Each structure stands twice: as structure tokens, then as C-alpha cells.
Amino acid sequence: MFTFTVNSPSPTPAFDLLGVDLLGVGQLDVDQLRADTRGCSEVIHLNNAGSALAPAIVVDTMVDFLRQEEMQGGYEAHAEAQDRLDNVYTSIATLLATEPTHIALTESATSSWDRAFASIAFTEPFTSKSRILVSSSEYASNVLPIMQIVKRTGATLEFIADSPEGVTDLDSLEKLMDESVALVAINHCPSQNGLINDVAGIGEIIRSTNPNTWYLVDACQSVGQLSVDAPAIGADFLSVTGRKFMRGPRGTGFLYCSSRALAELEPFPLDLHGGHWDSALHYSVRQWCPPI
């Protein structure tokens, strides 16, 4: 999954070593991208899987906004930025080939994943009969809350075997699938090895063996680096961070939610953005999509 970004004529295709157009963007002007990234003049930074060098426009926008908050107040600065904030939903939706109503903005990939998992656990509580399948490379922060639920409910946690190539093995998954599988959680690209799991193939197996299973994809290391069509994957959720291949600010993330998730799950914990306190003992959930 390494891209040619150095020592090649510009503009440079965002191709990997096999010549695959990873981002689906064709030509990237690498010289311009490097010129737009002040840190490139200081370091050769290869830790994008950790946290990438942000372009100047990202850092300048954040600093300007903080200054504006300092001088005008947080709510006033927020109101002035409202159009730009609304556009974030549209640009993320375009990136993932979906609609803005399917995008939630969060503080991190972990927060995105946790919210999806909590909504599943709240709406359709796991029981001692529930099975949860995860990829062997699942991110630790995703497995820990699953383990908590397993400890409390008696549900079982099972790891899907890898193929000889090291990715999640589709045949093994198919053998594990039945009506007791409540959730499958898959890492699109593990942080430690750069492999790419066939998340669309996994989605097909899940849908054909148990359409009731919830399917959660950690796309933290793939979005921004690979071309990702969220609806085509067939996942109910995709969790993403801002600070890696999106080259956004730390403390940002987003969550793609499928039509099924929006229609069948209640967001948990609900907050003012997703719900309304109607009267002393009543609340309502904000409706984003028509029921499917």
C-alpha cells in the first residue's frame, strides 16, 4: 500500500507498486501537495499511519478559528463558520459516495466506532446466545468494549482466521456465520501491516448468510488512502479519523451510517445534536432518513 510520492515526475499518479489507482483520483500534483505542506521542508515524514503532516490550509484554518473565538466568543465564531461546517458533511459524503445525511462528525475514529457499537448494544442488547466475530487484526480500542460486553452478557467473541496471505479469510468467515452472529467487526487496513481486507466480499457473505448481523468496518487507515465507496461495501458503519490519511486536525473523526442503521438503531448515548428533550419524561430521536 505504499504510493510513489518521491523521485517521480510530476504530476504523479497515486498508484501503488502494482499500478492500481488507489484513490481513484488519477493524477496528483505531488510538487504542489508538498509545497502546500510546510512540514515537508523540514522532515521526510513517513508516519502517516500514525498522524500525517497537515497542509498549511488546515493548520491556518484552525489557528484563525481559535483567534476568532478568542476575540468574538465560541458561539459567535461557530455561527460565522456554519456554512463551512455544513459543507464538511457534503465533502465527506462525496468522498465516500454517499449522502450527507449518512455522515456523523465525531472526535476520533475510536469515538465513531464506540458510538456505533453502543447504539447496537443499546438497541438490540447482546445476550449469552450472541456471537461477535472480529478480524484478527482488529484495533485494540475496538476489541476492549466488545470484551466488556462479553464479560457482562455472556456473549462470545471469536476471531476470524486469516488467509495464508494474512488477510481475513472469507471461507473461514462463511463457516462461522449463522443466525447467532449479532455483529461482525472488521479492520479495513490494519495499522501494523498495510494489508487490505476484502470488506466488500465480507459484506456479501454477511448479507447472504445472516442479513440481521450488524457489520462494522474500521476504515481509519483506508479512507484518504484508498478509494472507498461506503454503500458498495455493504457495511452498516464505517469509522474514520481525521488525523491520518485525511490530513485533517487531530481530535476529528467521522462515522458513515447505512440506511438500515439509521432506520433500525437508536443512537446511544443520545445528545442534543441527535435528539430532543420534548418534555420532562419524553425525548425524541432526530430522524435523518426515511425508513427503509
Which parts of this chain interact with ligand PLP (CB under 6 A)? 108-110, 139, 187, 191, 218, 220-221, 241, 253
Minimum distance between the CB of residue 88 and ligand PLP, rounded to whole angstroms? 16
3-state helix, strand, coil in the chain (%, to 5): 35, 20, 45
In angstroms, give the least distance from the CB of 220 to ligand PLP: 4
Query: Whole-number minimum distance, CB 97 to ligand PLP, in Å?
Result: 21
Q: Which residues contact 9 (CB under 8 A, 6 or more apart)?
A: none
Cα distances (angstroms) measured from residue 12 to each of 4, 56, 226, 232: 8, 21, 16, 28
CB of 69 to ligand PLP, least distance (A): 23
Q: Sign of the CA dihedral 16, 19, 20, 25?
A: positive
Length of the chain: 292
88 to 14, 100, 155, 194: CA distances (angstroms): 24, 9, 38, 28
- Using the minimum distance from each CB to ligand PLP, give the nearer residue, 3 or 221: 221
Measured from the CB atom, the residue of 138 and 169 that comes closer to ligand PLP is: 138
| Residue with Cβ nearer ligand PLP (136 or 180) | 136
Smallest distance, ligand PLP to C-beta of residue 59, A: 18
Name the residue nearer to ligand PLP (CB basis): 256 or 259. 256
**Burial class of residue 186 in the structure, from the number of CB atoms within 10 Å of its CB (0-12 exposed, 13-18 middle, 19+ buried):** buried
Nearer to ligand PLP, 117 or 177 (CB): 117
Nearest approach, Cβ of 222 to ligand PLP (angstroms)?
9
How far is the C-alpha of 132 from the C-alpha of 147, rounded, in Å? 10
Q: Please report how close the Cβ of residue 218 comes to ligand PLP at its closest, in angstroms.
A: 5
User: Which residue's CB is nearer to ligand PLP, number 108 or number 225?
Assistant: 108
Q: Smallest distance from the beta carbon of 87 to ligand PLP, in angstroms?
A: 21
Q: Residue 77 or 196: which CB sits closer to ligand PLP?
A: 196
| Spatial contact of 203 and 182, defined as CB atoms under 8 Å apart | no
SS3 8: coil
The number of beta carbons lying within 10 Å of the beta carbon of residue 3 is: 18
Nearer to ligand PLP, 61 or 191 (CB): 191
- Cβ atoms of 1 and 194 within 8 Å: the answer is yes
CB 232 within 8 Å of CB 219: no
Give dist(CA 173, CA 159) in Å, integer: 9
